[in-house]
Amino acid sequence: RTSSRQVGTPHPSRLAQQTMRANNILLASLVASALVSSAHSTPLAIASSRRYVPRLNNLRLRGGAAPAVAPNAAPTRVRGGAGLGGLNKIPKEVQLVIGSIGIFLSFSVFAVLQEDVYKKAYGGEYFGSTFFALVLERGINALTALLGDRMLGSSGLVIPHREIFNSGISQMLAMAASNEALRYVSYPTQVLGKSCKMVPVMAGGIVLGGKRYSPIEYAQVLLITLGVVVFNFGGKKKKSGKADSPYGLALIGASLLMDAFTGGLQDRVKVRTKELNPSPGGAKRPSMHESMLWTNASGCLMALVLALLTRHLFTGIKFSAAHPEVLKAIIVYSIASAVGQNFVYFTLTQFNPLVLTTVTTTRKIFSTLFSVFRNPNNSLSGMQWGGCSLVFSGLIGDIIRKLASQPQAQPKPMPAPVAVITDEPTAAAPVSVAPSVDAPPAPPAAQDDTPGPASSGQ
């Protein structure tokens, strides 16, 4: 249902300036993402090839011929167009800046435009066709992944399509509940509510997996939960006269529940991939774009079915025809989502999951504060600021705990360059020329920071 209540909307000229500024930021992110992806593919292929070159060198050909691959042959160019160690020639500090800026810009554009789509009045009406927006977003993400897969190559593994499809559907449903909640709660409430994701994950681990957690982990979850409770019960009446709806809070809870299901389904994807691709040299994983493609494709198909059943497809088309700026905003934030997933993967493989979590948590704090200051209706009371502090203190404390418990990686000597004999990129190991001891895992099918495979938590 739409409401006829008009809220404060920016002046048309100011709105046009904001849209143009967002488009310029997104364009810069797109260019940077393309450069990162192009350079990034080469070290992946090189890391993959190193496992096979020594075996070929040890072969004894008939007649005592020399091995087919010279141990010190110069590296050849592979798909992606860059030479050996393209990104590794860049200082690590610069790489971190590239990944952080890419994540900040992409998902900040995503957050701002998504909030405008769901919270702003257009001609006295509000957009409410959630599944229509998800069809577009998941479709654009799938097309972007397909393009990346065709340009950079696939892993060559047998993909567990059914398991990835199930994971993609659960991710889409989690995002549908989260997006729909934006119609009934403020953006800061949504972000803080989604920060409680570790609560259902921990509960599921205890009940279903029999896991045990340390007292400090329980304390962190308690701190985050307490912060969310203080935030929601310490709110003052909004200037618009409308407080956060219990229905909106229930939708956030449903989204968290689906996140817990998604975590279990992603574990099944890993197990099934190992079963379909037995490898004595260690576990292999689908490439980022393979996971991104099938996850978003399944989510797009299910969103289309639900859009037809709920008539969101028809109402969304009608609303977009009457207000083209809504359709433009959805398309732009969908592209920003796809770009952001590439930067998430880049940061994950160049560093480790802890660095990625630090960047995404910082981005969420920034987006929350930006939403509060740009929208007067999102102003917070003193108790709500205290609740925010508790939530983000718990998240930062979790990062510090993981950092303190992280084992120190022992430096390894840089191996001599070898000839590249394969064009197959892989996500099974970090892309550095000399893999570290604490090699980060493959990118998750749903990024904590991304609306898509690398973070459904935005």
Residue 102: pLDDT over 50: yes
Higher pLDDT, 418 or 106: 106
Of the segments 182-186, 217-221, 387-391, 393-397, which one has the largest average pLDDT value?
Answer: 182-186
Q: For residue 235, what pLDDT is reported?
A: 62
Interval 283-303 mean pLDDT: 86
- 423 pLDDT band, cuts 50/70/90, is very low
Classify strands 125-126 and 121-122 as parallel, antiparallel or unpaired.
Answer: antiparallel
Q: With H, G, I as helix, E, B as strand and everything else as coil, classify residue 87.
A: coil
The lowest-confidence range among 63-77, 111-125, 415-429 is 415-429
- 280 pLDDT band, cuts 50/70/90, is low
- 175 pLDDT band, cuts 50/70/90, is very high
Which backbone phi and psi does 125 adopt, to 5 degrees?
-120, 160
Interval 56-69 mean pLDDT: 44
Structural domain contains residue 332:
yes
Mean pLDDT of the chain: 71
Q: How far is the C-alpha of 364 from the C-alpha of 337, rounded, in Å?
A: 15
Interval 120-139 mean pLDDT: 94
Structural domain contains residue 326:
yes
Q: How far is the C-alpha of 112 from the C-alpha of 83, rounded, in Å?
A: 38
Residue 2: pLDDT over 70: no
- 282 pLDDT band, cuts 50/70/90, is low
Interval 146-160 mean pLDDT: 86
Q: For residue 17, what pLDDT is reported?
A: 58
Interval 130-152 mean pLDDT: 93
Given a contact cutoff of 8 angstroms between Cβ atoms, the answer to whether 418 and 56 are in contact is no
Given a contact cutoff of 8 angstroms between Cβ atoms, the answer to whether 172 and 352 are in contact is no
Number of domains in the chain: 1
Within 58-160, residue ranges assigned H as helices are 92-119, 130-152
Count CA atoms closer than 13 A to 356's CA, side-chain side: 25
- Return the percentage of the chain with pLDDT > 90, whole number: 23
Structural domain contains residue 316:
yes
Q: For residue 206, what pLDDT is reported?
A: 75
Q: How far is the C-alpha of 152 from the C-alpha of 345, rounded, in Å?
A: 14
Nearest Cα neighbor of 453 from 282, 285, 271, 329 is 285
Structure tokens at 349: 């493989």
Nearest Cα neighbor of 348 from 339, 356, 338 is 356
The string of DSSP codes covering 256-279 is HHHHHHHHHHHHHHHHHHHHHS--
Residue 26: pLDDT over 60: no
Of the segments 21-25, 74-78, 289-293, 302-306, which one has the largest average pLDDT value?
Answer: 302-306
Sign of the alpha-carbon dihedral angle for 424, 425, 431, 435: negative
Residues, the chain? 458
pTM: 0.66
Q: For residue 209, what pLDDT is reported?
A: 61
Residue 295: pLDDT over 80: yes
Q: With H, G, I as helix, E, B as strand and everything else as coil, classify residue 213.
A: coil
Structure tokens at 102: 């890419």
Q: For residue 147, what pLDDT is reported?
A: 92
Residue 407: pLDDT over 90: no
Structure tokens at 255: 């989204």
Contacts of 340 by beta carbon, 8 Å cutoff, 6+ apart: 29, 102, 103, 106, 107, 110, 449, 450, 454, 455
Residue 322: pLDDT over 70: yes
Residue 133: pLDDT over 60: yes
Given a contact cutoff of 8 angstroms between Cβ atoms, the answer to whether 379 and 226 are in contact is no
Place of tokens 């973070």: 455
Place of tokens 């749903």: 446
Residue 28: pLDDT over 80: no
- Nearest-5° angle of CA 47, CA 454, CA 259? 135
- Interval 362-378: pLDDT, tens: 888 788 788 888 777 76
Interval 173-200 mean pLDDT: 85
Q: How far is the C-alpha of 317 from the C-alpha of 307, rounded, in Å?
A: 11
Chain Cα centroid distance, residue 111 = 13
Place of tokens 């549908």: 176
Structural domain contains residue 427:
no
Structural domain contains residue 204:
yes
Structural domain contains residue 104:
yes
- A 10 A CB-CB count for 431 gives 28
Write out the residue range of the structural domain in which residue 178 sits. 20-405
Chain Cα centroid distance, residue 264 = 17
Given a contact cutoff of 8 angstroms between Cβ atoms, the answer to whether 13 and 125 are in contact is no
Of the segments 374-383, 390-399, 402-411, which one has the largest average pLDDT value?
Answer: 390-399
Q: For residue 236, what pLDDT is reported?
A: 58
- A 10 A CB-CB count for 124 gives 11
Query: What separation in angstroms does the CA of 432 have from each of 15, 105, 213, 409?
Result: 43, 25, 33, 14
Q: For residue 68, what pLDDT is reported?
A: 43
Q: For residue 196, what pLDDT is reported?
A: 75
Q: How far is the C-alpha of 95 from the C-alpha of 88, rounded, in Å?
A: 9
Structure tokens at 245: 């709806």
Q: For residue 406, what pLDDT is reported?
A: 66
Of the segments 96-105, 195-204, 297-306, 339-348, which one has the largest average pLDDT value?
Answer: 297-306
Structural domain contains residue 199:
yes
Q: For residue 48, what pLDDT is reported?
A: 41
Q: For residue 450, what pLDDT is reported?
A: 41
Interval 129-143 mean pLDDT: 96
Contacts of 97 by beta carbon, 8 Å cutoff, 6+ apart: none
Given a contact cutoff of 8 angstroms between Cβ atoms, the answer to whether 273 and 285 are in contact is yes
Contacts of 412 by beta carbon, 8 Å cutoff, 6+ apart: 434, 435, 436, 437
- Interval 188-246: pLDDT, tens: 888 878 877 777 777 766 776 677 778 888 888 788 878 877 876 766 555 444 556 88
- 88 pLDDT band, cuts 50/70/90, is low
